[in-house]
Each structure stands twice: as C-alpha cells, then as structure tokens.
Structure 1
Amino acid sequence: MSQTSTNIRFPQGRTAFLLIHGIGQQNPYETLDYFAQNFIKYFEQEKLPTDLEHHIAKREFANGGRWIESFVRLSPQDATEPGLIDVHEYYWAPDTENKISVPEILQWAEQTLDGTIEFYNRPENQNLLDNLLENRHRQGWFKFRLRSLTIFLRIFNFIYPLLRLLILVALLIAGPFLKGRYLQSAWKLSKKLIVPLLINFVGDVAIYTKTDPKSPYQKIRQQVITECLTLLQQIIKDPQANYDQVIIVGHSLGSCIAYDTLNQLCIESTLAGDLGKSMDIDKLKGLVTFGSPLDKIAFFFRNVAQEQQYIRRRIIQHLNSFRIKPELVTKSTSNYLGKNPVVCQLEHISWVNYYHLQDPISGNLDYYENLINEEMTYKTSWGASGHLGYWTDMKFYESIAKYFLY
C-alpha cells in the first residue's frame, strides 16, 4: 500500500461507521474508543487537524423499548471544510456473558472437532482437503495443532473437576491470609481462576454458533442479530445525521454478526417488495471484516441437512445465501426449488476483509464472492497479539480510508 497521503483534504460527505466488537469481556465504548482514537492519529499523520465530539441520539430496541445511544463525531477543524465521520458501536457482550457452563463448552468443542473431521470426509469436499494438504504450513496446522487441541480438550475435561477441587482446598487453607478479590466464595473463585479465558472467549463462540432451533442459545443468537439490524436501520434512516453512506465494521465474532445482519437485511428487503427503497439500503455502502472466522463458521457450524432431505437443505441454503460462492452450494439431487426467493438488494456493497498470518482466528475468506481480501503485515506474535493488532495498525485505517472515504 502506498505510503503517500491519500488526499490533502478531510473526507467529503457524511459517513457513519457501525462497529461490532468480538469475543471476550468487552466494556461499552471500548471498540469505539480504539477506532476513533486511531482514526484521529491517522488524520494527524496526514496533516489533517480533526475535532472530536460526543453526540447522543434516541434509539429503540426491537421490542419498542427506548434507549439513548452515545457516539462520537470526527470533523475537520477547518470550518470551511465539509464532511464528518460518525463512529457508532453495537454492544452485545451482556447477551452472552456467563450464559454457558464449562461442561457445555467442552461438549461443544468436541462436537466442533468431530464436525471438522466429518466435513472434510464428505465426498463433495475432497478438493478442499486436497488443497489444504498441498500447503505445507496449513498441513502442519491441520494435522498437529488440531490433533493437539483434541488431546488437550479431552485431558482438560477429565482433570477439570480435580483441578478445581485442589484450588478450592488451597483457597480455604490460605483464606485467613487473603484479601481483596480473594475474600469471596472460594468455590466461585476457584472457577474464575481456572477458566476465565475458556468462558469469556470460547463461550461467546459456542453460544453464537449454535444454530439448532432446539438449542436454548438460539434465542440469544437471534436476539443479537435482531438488535444489530434494528440499530443499523435506525442509523441509516436517521433524519438528523442524514448520512451519505454507512459502513458496517466487524472484528472477530463481530464480523459474523455483521454478516448475519446483512443476510437478514437481504431477507427483509426482499419482503419489502420495493427493492429496499423504503429501507434506504442504498446508503449502506460497505462491509469491513477483520480477524474474521467467517470461513470457519460457514464450514463447521452452519446447519446442514442430510443429503436425502433436499427440501430442507435447499431452504437452509436460500436463507443463508449472501455472497456465497455458487460453486460451494451443495447441489441438490432434485430438480425442485432451484429459484431462490431471497433476492438480495445488497450487491452494491463493497466488502473488504483484513487478515494476518499470525492471527489464528482470521484468514483469506474463500467461501464468499465479490470481496477483497487484504493481508496485513504488522509485526506481531502468533495468537492474541496477532488477532488484536489491527486496532493499532495505521495501515489498517489508511486502507479503510482508501476504500471508503476517498
């Protein structure tokens, strides 16, 4: 990417970014803070002095309840320069926090690994397995890291009760000498000390990826998507802001929420019957995904019907068809249901996906079409650092500006 300044002027027009955070114990306005601060740094780097203001707006939940949204506005310090950038945030962390138990997470992980094996054993996916094993780096990951994860989960499932009991005894013995956060229920604290990452990170994914309608977590997943779409529609139609364009931005699992929100918008715009004009979806100009596991979610977690259930299989495919590559849609043995009733009105949206080779969650998105995959090259280590490095990389903001602001 060029190091030269994209433009000597502040971006023209009225732009809104809707941020959707990823997994973990997120706090309100954290992603908004990261994104806005680093965009200001980017503009300063481009010699564009920028003002920052806190704004509020009346919003409604999907059930009709009201709330006040806080967002921030970036604008040029030079009053003669037009243009503004509003940064909104969809905060969904409370919907999944502490909603799933450790045994359920371990069971989910086992099913996921079994699903991975089953997926690559399907005859129609043999070419995907062959392509995977052609790459030495991916072959090593697939054979050894996946195997190691399986072994670790099975061992952890076995020793978890014993480990928690040992920590409980240690806490009870050390009780008279402890202070601060340790002065609480030893039983509850023993759980917090052993599995904070398992619950806070894997738990979010375990809940959100359960698409089985019989699962109690399906309601949580649907609520997250519904509220995200409700906020997105209100931002698009906000008469005071009167945006020229709205960009939806999702990090990590937030990218899956962003995708599912747009997939739901495809369905609703089809039912509107006016090519989405009443919904002003022409203002929705972009989708940014980074640190995204969308391919992995699509491969291993989507609800898949049996081969003989050709009606059920085709209905599921129609309802989850936004930008799916046609060649990856399982061909039905029947000639029925060939026409998709969901006519997506979002083909005008520009989709840019950012990934890093040191980010174990993200990757080049191969399951979808009509998008740009951008590899990031910031210096980082494999793991969490690679997964979070996008937020502070100026090249990331420069690229977003190039694609969506100029």
Structure 2
Amino acid sequence: MKQAVVVIHGIGEQRPMDTLRGFVEAMIPTDTPDGKPLYWSKPDRLSRNFDLRVLKSSGRTSTDFYEYYWAHKMQGTKLGHLLGWLWDIFKRPRRDIPDAIVPIWRSTRWTVLALLLLIASGALAAAWGQLPANDNPFALIPLLLAAMGLGLRYSALAYLGDAARYLSPNPQNVRVREQIRADGVDLLRALHNQGDYERIIVVGHSLGSVIAYDIVGYLWHEYHDQLTQLNPSNRELAARYANREPLQPVVKEALPAAGALLDGSLGSLLNFRQQQAEAFVEQRGLGNPWRITDLVTVGSPMAHASLLLGRSVSDFQQRMERREAPACPPTEDTQGYGYNARQPLMLGQKPFTPHYLHHAAAFAVTRWTNLYFPAPFGVFGDIVGGPVKPVMGGGVLDLPVTVGNGKGWLARSWLSHTHYWSERGGTQGYLSALGKDEQAITQGPRPSATEALRWAIDLKGVRRFRRVGAQQSLAPEHA
C-alpha cells in the first residue's frame, strides 16, 4: 500500500526541499537505533525542477513525500504590488475586517493617519513661516518615510509581496497566479494518474494553504462526476442493484444528514468526518478516481478568507453559496451535496440514475483539519493563521496548538508561524483521546503542534481508506 503527502511551502524566499526535509524529519524519525535511515531520497519524476526530490519512507506502508515548490514563480515583485494590496485592505470598512486582526488594522490606520497629519502640519507651518527652515522638527519626516520605504523594500516585500501578488486578482498578477495554480493542479493530477496511491494528503503552510485550497478545488472539477464502474458489464454492482441494495447511501443520505447535524460540538464534527471518509470509499468503489482524503492547513490565512479572497464578508459568503468557493460542509444542491443525473444508465439489465457530487463539493469526500497558534488581541501568537471553521464552515476541524519542550513562550510570539513542525520528538497520547473524551479535548491543555500534525496526516490510516465499510470505525490509529 502506498500513499503520497504533498507539502506546499509558505511565503518568503524559500529554497527547494528545505520545507520538505524539515517536515519529514518531524513526522517520522530520521534514523533507527542501529543507525539505518527510515526514509531516503529519489528523483522527482513528476517535476521539471531538478532540485526537487521525493522523500520515501520505509516500512509496510510506503509514503512518498513531495514538495510543491512555487517560490521561483514570484520573481519580479515590486513595491507597487505590495502597496496596492495593502491600500485595498486599509480602506476596507470595519465590518469587512475579521475580528482576529482588527487590533492590527486599527493600529495601522491610526499610525498612517497620524503620519499624514504630521506631514500636513509641518508643511503648512513651514509655508506660513511659523517654523524656521533650519529648526523645523518636521524636516525629519522625509527621513522617517525613507526608512519605512527601505523596510518595506528589503523585508516586508520579500514576504508580504508573495501574498500581495497571489491574493490580489489585479491584471499584473493574473499570469503568476495562473502559473502557480496550473502547476499545482498538474502535480496532483499526475499523482492520481500514477494509479498506485491509495491515498493523497495535501499539507499547506501559510500562503501555501491558500494554494492548496485552490488546487484541490480546481482538480475536483475534473473528477466529481466520474463513476466509471457504473456500466452494464459490471456484474457485481448489477447484482447488488437487482437485489435492491442502495449503491450510494452515504453521499445521498448519511453524509448530508451528518452535515445538517453540525452544531459546533466535537461529537457532531467527528461524525461528519467519519461520513466524509465513508463517502470517499463509496465513491471509489463506484469508480471515482479521487484520492485526496485530507487537506491539512497550518498557520493558514484562510482564517481571514472573507478579507483576502472576497471584497467583503457578505461577498465571500455569496461566493460560497453560489459554489464559486468550496465550503466545508459543501453548499447544498438540489439533493444534499449533489444532484441526480439527467439520464439514467444501464446497470446490468436495469436503468440506474447515478447521484453526482457537485463541482464545489470536494469537502464531501476530503476532510479538512486546520492547526493554528491562538493570537489573543491579534498580537500574542500566529497572527497569520487562526480558526478556519467560522469562515469556511462547521465541517473544518480547528486544532489550537502550542510548542512543547518548555518553549511555551514561542507559541505566544509572532515567531510561532514558522514552528508548526520545529520539534523532532513530540509527545504522544493527548490527541489519541479525540472523540472519546470531548471535555478533555475542549478544556484540556493544547497539544504540541508536531503531535497534532502527526495526528492530522495519520500516516498509518491508509488501510481504512482501502478496506473500510459502513460498519467499521474510521477513528485515526496511533502508536
């Protein structure tokens, strides 16, 4: 049995393989007591980038780790790209700003307004002769502006510039946005076409989580209505249908019912995630080629999707309702999360009307787990990420995390954004209780980020996506 993990790096001038190597060394041990490595490197034949490699784990269940590297496509970012994007956010009214970043938005606004007021006051005072030219304290303002410009040019531009170009659909950004998305979709499509992966997990960090969300949704467009096993020659399915056995009970009934019961409790969410996994297996049994079982986002700006991907909170909500932006759970169609085919097809000697999940229902069969360091008041923690469920839907599992090994202070700093898999040891056991003791999970101490990430990708869980039936448990396994 084989599975693939695709890691998508975040903003900044990343080097090929740096993100992937750090990720893999945190997810699996680097070597055994006898000194033998538990993963090795081989050429990445799916990429045209010769600096990229595939890291392959050893053991009964083989896992191939891929990196989707996109930083080189962001060359040529200029200060105008960043300032235009920041201005668009700056002028938004309060009602369109997510609560988590309101303190930063307000402080930025007041700082800019105070600076403009100082410039105007100094200019007027000098013009009216109230301040001598050689003793004008406002003469330092140009130097201050120059220093701020250099800071934007050499620090913020290297990081925020990537976000500005990818998240802003201005004409000068369209080409690079399309290149990044097209190459990401090509990679996921190639992994599907390999034909030997039972399961694919997509992990996105920072801006990479937005890219992951986009390419998963775009690829689903190609696969959502493919049920290749529904044909007259399939004797097994024909016999089941002739015996009046329902062929799509999960996607037609159980999954929408579980989505309707989502009430914010952990129990209802875990039930929905179990139905997602069973829907995946059901679709696979009918010939759907989709293999992405999990999207895992860490430090994700999707927590602020209404600000970054829409013109306003109501605009982004309407996009999800119109099925432009995939939600979790999916926006409902005429029947649950899908629709019946217009024309029946023959299954054996009887006509059968298949039920298709609609084009924006990727998260009907793909679970979404989001990890974040909480940032109270928008300051003490990872201000880039945050809980995604309030924005994208009640089917997202948000896991607030911390940094173990006595580094709790790190989880309360902005540096936490780069420490989701910085630990190599990590503790085990806390998240193994998920689903068994809801009070312990919701009120107990937060798990370490590395532990939560290991639980979310669940490398030992590939077997259940191959053999699971309607009566089997889908809770993740843990060592």
Per the shorter chain, which TM-score range?
0.5 to 0.7
Say whether the 8 Å CA contact 2:227–2:287 is kept in structure 1.
no
What secondary structure does 1:202 align onto?
A: helix
- In the alignment, structure 1 residue 256 sits paired with structure 2 residue 210: yes
Structure 2 CA distance, aligned partners of 1:44 and 1:405? 18
Shift of 1:73: 0.9
Structure 2 CA distance, aligned partners of 1:98 and 1:164? 26
Residue number among 128, 148, 163 corresponding to 2:107 in the alignment: 148
Matches within 5 A, 1:170-249: 195-211=153-169, 215-239=171-195, 242-249=196-203
Shift of 1:249: 0.3
Q: Greater relative contact order: 1 or 2 (C-alpha under 8 angstroms, separation 6 or more)?
A: 1
Say whether the 8 Å CA contact 1:236–1:280 is kept in structure 2.
yes
TM-score (norm 2): 0.58
Which residue in the other structure is 1:89 paired with? Answer: 67
- In the alignment, structure 1 residue 25 sits paired with structure 2 residue 13: yes
Q: Which moved more, 1:253-262 or 1:392-401?
A: 392-401
Structure 1 CA distance, aligned partners of 2:227 and 2:312? 29
TM-score (norm 1): 0.67
Paired residues in the alignment total 321
Structure 2 CA distance, aligned partners of 1:296 and 1:230? 27
- Closer, same or farther: CA 153–93 of 1 in aligned 2, 3 Å: farther
What secondary structure does 2:369 align onto?
A: strand
Give CA deviations for 1:140-190 in whole Å, capped at 9, x if unaligned. Answer: x62x432222244567898999449978xxxxxxxxxxxxxxxxxxxxxx9
Which residue in the other structure is 1:405 paired with? Answer: 459
Query: Residue 96 of structure 1 aligns to which amino acid in structure 2?
Result: M
- Closer, same or farther: CA 155–226 of 1 in aligned 2, 3 Å: farther
- Runs of 5+ consecutive residues of structure 2 not aligned to the other structure: 120-138, 229-282, 333-356, 375-380, 427-447, 461-479
Structure 2 CA distance, aligned partners of 1:59 and 1:279? 22
Structure 1 CA distance, aligned partners of 2:287 and 2:113? 52
Structure 2 CA distance, aligned partners of 1:87 and 1:224? 19
Shift of 1:284: 1.3
Residue number among 223, 247, 255 corresponding to 1:269 in the alignment: 223
Give CA deviations for 1:83-120 in whole Å, capped at 9, x if unaligned. Answer: 22221100101111332x22331232121122253526
- Closer, same or farther: CA 146–50 of 1 in aligned 2, 3 Å: same
- Runs of 5+ consecutive residues of structure 1 not aligned to the other structure: 1-12, 61-65, 77-81, 121-128, 133-137, 168-189, 308-312, 328-339
- Closer, same or farther: CA 235–326 of 1 in aligned 2, 3 Å: closer
Structure 1 CA distance, aligned partners of 2:329 and 2:89? 22
- Closer, same or farther: CA 305–256 of 1 in aligned 2, 3 Å: closer
- Closer, same or farther: CA 92–302 of 1 in aligned 2, 3 Å: same
For the aligned residue pairs, the C-alpha RMSD in angstroms reads 3.8
- In the alignment, structure 1 residue 297 sits paired with structure 2 residue 329: no
What secondary structure does 2:197 align onto?
A: coil
Query: Residue 148 of structure 1 aligns to which amino acid in structure 2?
Result: S
Query: Residue 289 of structure 1 aligns to which amino acid in structure 2?
Result: T
Structure 2 CA distance, aligned partners of 1:314 and 1:149? 29
Structure 1 CA distance, aligned partners of 2:140 and 2:324? 40
Q: Which moved more, 1:366-375 or 1:354-363?
A: 366-375
Say whether the 8 Å CA contact 2:5–2:203 is kept in structure 1.
yes
